[in-house]
Structure 1
Amino acid sequence: MIIDILLLFAGFVALIFGANSLVDAASSVAVKLGIPNIVIGLTIVAFGTSAPELVVNLFAAISGSTEMVLGNVLGSNIFNILGILGISAIIYPLTVKTSTTWLEIPLSLLAAICVLIIGADMFLDGATTNAITRSEGIVLLLFFTIFLVYNLTVAKAGGEEEEMETKSYTTGKAILFILLGLAGLILGGRLIVDSAVSIAEVIGLSERVIGLTVVSIGTSLPELATSIIAVRKKNVDIAIGNVVGSNIFNIFLILGISTTVAPLQLNDGAFFDIFVNIAAGLLLFIFIFTGKGRKLERWEGIFLLGLYIAYVTYLVTA
């Protein structure tokens, strides 16, 4: 048990190191190739922060731990809204831009509802089982492509070149760090899946619960760190944009790729988590559009964080 916990921790360290190394090296290469910062931010950096969830899910899908696949995606999204935005709003009230309010927040809610629709086969189609099939995974990837192209088009049309700090590596050093980053992601993902499954067996929790709690929080650490740093610097729109964008990536890209690799069978417990994910997105939508100034106030952050603690407590004790 202790060895599994240490391996799980080592897996998270390797995973985050790998993602950071990959982003830094790839961004350095992109700058040398003359790629605009906004494109780097919306592609390389965004993919990098989602890499932990993606790698863990791929290993889980390949090894047949399908409950962990959906649990990691839903758990990350729930933690992003209730946990990360809750903590961020407690530190400093969050104000969002019109573009984030009117596009990304509703779209993240739509993505959450989309999971319910494609998974409720018994209710909608009269099927014998509920599943997210390979063809539905491909549809999610098509939605992601539309979202990414739209974001790039809007960003380039805006004509504003955002400032972004990037590392300056020689070509040889960049290739080395890209390889180290990939190695860290692969090693970390393998360690996390294997040790999490072992821990679940020892303490009697399902892979779904482990995926919803320990694994999802661990893979969301890059988003947590980014949001806290941003809000401490009063860059509050970055904090909320980072979280909402990550939620869209998690469903359209990561769940899309995972189910394309291995279709998922959904049990009854999964629908409780799907509804919690929808409720979290709806709650964020309501909080932003009520009151004045499109703000997430401190008391709302406390409320969100309290809900997350209650949700995790229920999962562990139920």
Structure 2
Amino acid sequence: MLINILLLLGGFIALIYGANALVDAASSLAARYGVPSIVIGLTIVAFGTSAPELVVNVFAATTGSTDMVLGNVLGSNIFNVLGILGISALIYPLTVKSNTTWIEIPLSLLAAICVLVVASDTMLDGTASNFISRSDGIILLLFFLVFLVYNLMVAKSGGADEEITTKDYSTGKAVLFIILGLAGLVVGGRLIVTSAVSIAEVIGLSERVIGLTVVSIGTSLPELATSIIAVRKKNVDIAIGNVVGSNIFNIFLILGISGSIVPLGVNPDSFFDIIINILTGLLLFIFVFTGRGRKVERWEGAVFVIGYVAYVTYLII
């Protein structure tokens, strides 16, 4: 048990440092060859922050741990809103300034509803079991492609003004760090999946619950760190945009790729998590678009945190 816990922690460290090294090196290489800062931010940096969830899900899908695949995506999205935005709002109220975020918050709610639709085969089609098929995964990827094109169009029209700071690596050093970053992602992802499955077997929790809690929180640590740093610097729009964008990536890109690799059986218990994910998105929508101004107040952040603690407690009990 202790060895598996240490392997799990080592996997998270390798995964996160691998993702950071990959993003820094790829961004430096892109900047060196004249790729615009906005494009780097919308592609390399955005993909990099979702790399931990993607790598873990690919390993889980290919090894047959399909409960962990859906659990990691749903758990990450629930933690992103209730945990990360909740903690961030407690530090400083989150004001939504960007027009793009006003569109992305409803889009993240739509993405949550899409999971319910693609997973409800028994109810919608009368099949014997529920699963996210390869065709469902491809549809989610097409949604992601539309989202990516939308972001690029907003960037080209001047709707996104955030400047991306890149490292100044030589070409050789950048290539080396890309290789090391990819190695960290692969090793870390493998360690997390194998050790998490072993821990679940030892303590008697399902792969679904481990994916919804330990794995999803661990893979969401980059978003947590980014949001807290942004809030402490009073860059509150970055904090909320970071979380909302990550939730859209998790469903359309990561779940889309996972379903395209192998059909994912949907555990009946997972529908509870799917509904919680929808309610979480709906609650964020209500908090932002009602009341005074476009903001998440401290008391609303407290509601998020209390809700997350209650949810995790329910899962474990």
Class of the TM-score when normalised by the shorter of the 2 chains: over 0.9
TM-fit CA distance, 1:101: 4.1
Deviation at 1:163, TM superposition (A): 2.1
**Equivalences for residues 180-191 of structure 1 within 5 A:** 180-191=180-191
1:123 maps to what in 2?
Answer: 123
**C-alpha separation between the residues in 2 aligned to 1:190 and 1:65?**
12
CA distance in 1, matches of 2:273, 2:210: 13
- What letter is aligned with 1:200? A
Give distance in 2, aligned partners of 1:233 and 1:16.
23
Aligned to 1:10: 10
Question: Any conservation in 1 of the 2:75–2:213 contact (CA below 8 Å)?
Answer: yes
Asked if 1:32 is matched to 2:14, the reply is no
CA gap 1:45/1:101 in 2 versus in 1, 3 angstroms: closer
Would you identify which runs of 4 or more consecutive aligned residues in structure 1 move more than 6 Å?
A: none
1:133 aligns with 2:133: yes
Aligned positions, number: 317
Q: Which residue of 2 aligns with 1:310?
A: 310
Output aligned runs, 1:159-174, within 5 Å. 161-174=161-174
Counterpart Cα distance in 2 of 1:16 and 1:272: 29
Any idea what the Cα deviations from partners look like across 1:53-101, whole Å, max 9, x if unmatched? 0000000000000000000000000000000000000000000125244
SS of equivalent to 2:157: helix
Instruction: Show the 5 A alignment for 1:155-304.
Output: 155-158=155-158, 161-304=161-304
1:181-240 CA-to-partner distances (Å, cap 9, x unmatched) read 000000000000000000000000000000000000000000000000000000000000
* C-alpha spacing 1:61/1:300, structure 2 compared with 1 (3 Å): same
8 Å Cα contact 2:28-2:168 kept in structure 1: yes
Under a length normalisation based on structure 1, what TM-score does the superposition of the two structures give?
0.98
Question: How many percent identity over aligned positions?
Answer: 76
Structure 1 residue 160 displacement after superposition: 6.0
Change (3 A) 1:159 1:310: closer
- C-alpha distance in structure 2 between counterparts of 1:258 and 1:304, whole Å: 28
**Retained in 2: the 8 A contact 1:17–1:184?**
yes
- In the superposition, the TM-score normalised over structure 2's length comes to 0.99
Q: Any unmatched runs of 5+ in structure 1? A: none
The answer for the alignment partner of 2:55 in structure 1 is 55
Report the Cα distance in structure 1 between the residues aligned to 2:82 and 2:187, rounded to whole angstroms. 29
Deviation per residue, 1:153-200 (Å, 9 max, x gap): 111111765322211000110000000000000000000000000000
Q: Work out whether residues 98 and 237 of structure 2, in 8 Å CA contact, stay in contact via their aligned partners in 1.
A: no
Distance in 2 of aligned mates of 1:85 and 1:277: 14
Contact 2:101 2:241 in 1 (8 A): no
* DSSP-derived class of the 1:158 partner: coil
